[in-house]
Amino acid sequence: MANSKIRNFCIVAHIDHGKSTLADRILEKTETVAIRDMEDQLLDNMDIERERGITIKARAVRLKYTAKDGEDYIFNLIDTPGHVDFNYEVSRSLAACEGAILVVDASQGIEAQTLANTYLAIEHDLEVVPVVNKIDLPSADPERVCAEVENVIGIPAMDAPRISAKMGTNIEEVLERIVIDIPAPEGDTEKPLQALIFDSYYDSYKGVIIYVRVKEGTVKVGDNIRLMATGAVFTVVEAGFMDASSLVNNGSLEAGEVGYIAASIKSIGDTRVGDTVTNNDRPCDEPLPGYRKVNPMVFSGIYPADGAKYGDLRDALEKLRLNDASLSFEPETSIALGFGFRCGFLGLLHMEIIQERLEREYNLDLITTAPSVIYKVTMTNGEVQYIDNPTNYPDPALIQTAEEPMVKASILSPSEFVGNIMELCQDRRGIFKDMKYLDDTRVELHYELPLNEIIYDFFDVLKSRTKGYASFDYEMMGYVPSKLVKLDILLNGEIVDALSFIIHTDKAYGRARKIAEKLKENIPRQLFEVPIQAAIGGKIIARETVKAMRKDVLAKCYGGDITRKKKLLEKQKEGKKRMRQLGTVEVPQEAFMSVLKLDS
Amino acid sequence: MNTLGIYIHVPFCGRKCSYCDFYSLNYNKNNADLYLRSVLRNIQYYSDRSRIVDTVYFGGGTPSLLPAESIAQMIDEIKKCFRLSENVEITLEANPNTLTPDKLRQLRDNGVNRLSIGVQSMIDSELKFLGRTHTADRAKKAVLDAAEAGFRNISCDLMIALPYQTAESVEFSINELAALPVDHISAYMLTIEDGTAFDKQNIRDIMPDEDLTAELYLSMINCLKEKGFEQYEISNFAKNGFESRHNCRYWKCLDYIGIGPAAHSCYNGKRFAVMPNLKEFIDATHQKIYITDESPCGFKESAMLRLRLAEGLNIGECGEKSEDILKKIPTLQKAGYVTYEDGKLALTAKGFLMSNSIIEYLIF
């Protein structure tokens, strides 16, 4: 099919603004899916995504549409992750498209992530097609929202389709806009192959499946391809596209097309999002621009609650990594928690998703340590160290300067919550940059925030202080010097390595007190009293005590039933195996977890 | 000397107390007769003239509900089937309401020489709460009548950790009992057992908490000591020489045969129990048992039981485990849980209160 009949596009929307529902309607209208096969929200195929209403991994699907001009068109709908953790993946998905449908909720207007992704789309020269969704809601105000889009983003929006994806209203109008407004792809099928990888996943039969946008040239079954960043060479086994439910092996893909390649690739580490696929025998001169290796930003120790499950945890992490090249992990040992893994994540959401998948899909009971960012430490001898595990934080006497990563944060919110937001950002050591009104009722605030202040619970607190209305987005901006200290927690005088963390001096006292209180709540009274201390270096800055238990005795009448008594003690002993034994102190799992949620 | 204890479980009560989870049924004469015949058959079944029986214990239930002749028949049967020690201790558990002067005299004449009277409290409101059918005055009269009938070894049960109980109300009950001819007191803590009348949230809600219970226990020990009752086990207190010899068999891993539904035995190298089913017990030629422990009285078990006793555990007898135990003693001493003198490790009053944790920490 001629390129003029192809449209490659994605949908940009805030969580809950209806991206997946609109995608489903488009699939339905193009009869890509038989109605009876429709499951709600087809494009999100992971349970967690569906439950959280967010899309984690991009997918691409090919649709056929007969437009009002009587011609048949091919639509390639590329789904994009909506969350800031996956910003880079979003940018690669956008680079595979010529246009983006911007879905805005008719009652809520633009949110921070939408804005960030729309700017990203404009940066990539995409044609942005605004669509106002949820016009069926009583609170819908499409005129106001269209005006907001024009004001804030600066694209014409007054004639944007007003739709209800849920009810199926005005979906054809969207389809026609795709045909009319979004440009057809360009590219020369005769040129050397240049294809952009925008997603990949591991299939246990076919190996790694890579999703590509062919920019120049042609790729067909039997070709030797080279992945330029890693230099790995493979022979193409399948090339084709995905319809709503399965991969269709077409034999080839040409410039302008979006589809998949299977080439018996064993390791997802070879296929990096953003990399360029070329023909090994007739390579292109240069890779496509924009590739970068994605580095983890947030680190946390993950341990099996039951030490015997270490092997299971390793297997599970390896399986997850098959599908998720951005997950990194390596073995680590904690005195308190035993054998586990130091895991690196793109961000907090990514971390939560991995933890949840480990627990849910692999039935593992986990203990995770407080998330940490990477600190940059310059030693007095000039050596530079990057520290992602508080345990490895050097002796302060040997540190010349310590630096922490900062982010540029943008927060969109109804103006009534500005006070609350400023208070929160101030509390998190934020530096106010500017604030602008998007319209009469909505503002956009810009702050510089230390990454370590937002990795715990910033988003949750922001939501609760703005009745759920504020949205939040951030990008990394590099390291700045900071007054950092390592805070240790001691139980019965012994440092519990898994509870140590790095923190700004000004926050240390408050945090120390809260942690001590939380631990006191979560460590049960036991045979001996448990002193809880928080210390910086050798200096104790907070203290609590779990008083010794007073009564644990069988002082009742019994007719010589000794076996029962013995079994009771054996059971008691067994029950304590679920606790971590640190010296004479028994610490339940919940105690480790409780310090991660200090404000809730 | 290869001595033996015999426990006879009498599963009848006039009325079930609200806290009780022992096996007992309403008394009726027909069942009691059938039950008696079955007990006699079982005494014969275990018959062993080489064994010297030095304690017999009628527990329940309410053994004092049975006619004195029934008790006499059982004692006689034991005499026929075993050798009875000259100074055998024969205990009968009794509800104050069932003890008339006549019955007491008959029991005494038939060989019962120790009474364990279920007094529980000397405060009527506490008795009523517990579902006891007698008053404090009735209990006092029962003790006095028993002494009058010639009993010189009278034990009373006392219950602490009752809702609204205070150190003072416990002291009151102790003073009342100490003024009577009582030589032994078993003091238990009220615990709510599944399936009992007390197994209800509104009762659990008013139970004293851990700290108050501990205070009540400690002040009770002091009170009893002042009145001459020395603690010799977690729940047991006696004037000099009046320790329960039968119960001591349990704590010293000595043999005892249990007869009757739900009775437990430690006999010929096994622990076993009888099904808690009166009909089954009555119908069977000899009682059906199930083994609860194939090889009892190992180190863990004997040490666990020894540590319940005030005399404590001889570390010299702990074999390879002694090194590990010795290492843990200083921490326990520092916390005030144990004393360690002349090679004997013993729990203090504070230690008794934490005995499960301590035993588990040391032994298990």
**The pLDDT value given to residue A90:** 82
Q: Report the pLDDT value the prediction gives residue A438, as an integer from 0 to 100.
A: 81
- What's the rounded Cα separation, in Å, for the pair B271 and B297? 9
pLDDT of residue B189: 95
Q: Phi/psi at B143 (nearest 5 deg)?
A: -65, -45
Query: Does the structure's ipTM exceed the value 0.90?
Result: yes
- pLDDT at B1 (0 to 100): 56
* Residues B62-105 pLDDT 10s: 999 999 999 999 999 999 999 999 999 999 999 999 999 999 99
Residue with tokens 């694209």: A155
Mean pLDDT: which of A42-56, A237-251, A509-523 is highest? A509-523
CATH 1.10.10.920 domain extents, chain B? 299-363
Residues of A in contact with B159 (CB under 8 A): none
Is the pLDDT at A380 greater than 50? The verdict is yes
Q: What is the DSSP letter of B201?
A: H
Residues in A closer than 8 angstroms to B265, CB to CB, are: 560
Of residues A457 and A150, more confidence is placed in: A150
Alpha-carbon separation of residue A463 from A457, A467, A500 (angstroms): 10, 6, 28
* Residue A573 contacts B where some CB pair is shorter than 8 Å: yes
- Taking the Cβ of residue A551 and every Cβ of chain B, the question of whether any pair is shorter than 8 Å is answered with yes
Query: Which backbone phi and psi does A358 adopt, to 5 degrees?
Result: -60, -40
Q: What angle do CA B352, B355, B356 make, to 5 degrees?
A: 155
Phi, psi for B78 (deg, rounded to 5): -65, -40
pLDDT of A84? 60
Instruction: Find which of A264-278, A300-314, A363-377, B141-155 is predicted with most confidence, using mean pLDDT.
Output: B141-155
Q: Which of residues 87-116 of B touch A (CB under 8 A)?
A: none
List of residues 6+ apart from A482 with CB closer than 8 A: A402, A403, A404, A450, A504
**B341 vs A109, more confident:** B341
- Highest mean pLDDT pick, A100-104, A159-163, A455-459, B347-351: B347-351
Predicted local distance difference test score (pLDDT) of residue A243: 79
Using a CB-CB distance cutoff of 8 angstroms, which residues of chain B are in contact with residue A528?
331, 335
CATH 3.20.20.70 fits B3-250, yes or no: yes
Handedness of CA A324, A343, A406, A408 (dihedral sign): positive
Residues A513/A516/A521/A523 CA torsion (nearest 10 deg): 180
**Cβ contact A555–B235 (<8 Å):** yes
User: Is a pLDDT exceeding 50 seen at residue A50?
Assistant: no
The nearest CA of chain B is from the CA of A591 a distance in Å of 21
Closest Cα in chain A to B253: A562
A556, A568, A570: best to mutate for the B interface, most B CBs within 10 A = A556
Q: If you write DSSP's letter for every residue of A392-438 in order, what string do you get?
A: GPPPGGGEEEEEEEEEEEEEEEEGGGHHHHHHHHHHTT-EEEEEEES
**Interface subset of B 21-50, CB within 8 angstroms of A:** 22
Name the residue among A555, A563, A576 with its Cβ closest to that of B188. A555
Structure tokens belonging to residue A206: 């076919």
Contact B210 A550 (CB under 8 A): yes
Using an 8 Å CB-CB cutoff, list chain A residues near B269: none
User: Is the CB of B320 inside 8 Å of chain A's CB atoms?
Assistant: no
pLDDT cut 70: percent of chain A above it: 93
A534 vs chain B: nearest CA distance in angstroms? 23
Averaged over B225-248, what is the pLDDT? 96
Decide if pLDDT at B354 tops 70.
yes
Mean pLDDT across chain A: 87
Whether the CB of A493 is below 8 Å from some CB of chain B: the reply is no
Structure tokens at B209: 């908490």
Cβ separation of B234 and A553 shorter than 8 Å? yes
Whole-model pTM above 0.90? no
Question: If DSSP codes are grouped into helix, strand and coil, which group holds residue A100?
Answer: strand
By the CB < 8 Å criterion, does A548 face chain B?
yes
Q: Considering CB atoms only, which of B157, B296, B353 is closest to A551?
A: B353
Please spell the DSSP secondary structure of A27-95, one letter per residue. HHHTTSS-GGG--SSTT--SHHHHHHT---S--EEEEEEE-TTS-EEEEEEE----SGGGHHHHHHHHH
**Residue A126 DSSP label:** P
Over the stretch B9-38, which tens digit does the pLDDT of each residue have? 999 999 999 999 899 999 999 999 999 999
B360 and A573 within 8 Å at the Cβ level: the answer is: yes
CATH 3.20.20.70 domain span(s) along chain B: 3-250
Q: Is A310 on the interface with B (CB under 8 A)?
A: no
Nearest CB among B22, B305, B354 relative to A562 is that of B305
Cross-chain CB nearest to A550 (options B22, B187, B211): B211
Query: Is A308 part of the contact surface with chain B (CB cutoff 8 Å)?
Result: no
Asked if the C-beta of B119 comes within 8 angstroms of chain A's C-beta atoms, the answer is no
Average pLDDT over residues A57-68: 80
Q: Is the pLDDT of residue B326 over 80?
A: yes
pLDDT at site A34: 47
Which pLDDT score, from 0 to 100, does residue A557 have?
62
CA A528 and chain centroid, separation: 43
Out of A451-460, A484-493, B256-265, B332-341, pick the least confident.
Answer: A451-460
Give residue A32's pLDDT: 60
Count Cα atoms within 13 angstroms, Cβ side, for A550: 11
Q: Do B364 and A559 touch (CB under 8 A)?
A: no
User: Binning pLDDT at 50, 70 and 90, where does residue A412 land?
Assistant: confident
* CATH of region B299-363: 1.10.10.920
Closest Cβ–Cβ partner in A528, A551, A552 for B335: A528
Between B217, B264, B296, which is nearest A559 by CB?
Answer: B264
pLDDT at A553: 92
Contact B360 A562 (CB under 8 A): no
Give the H/E segment covering residue B299. Answer: helix B299-306
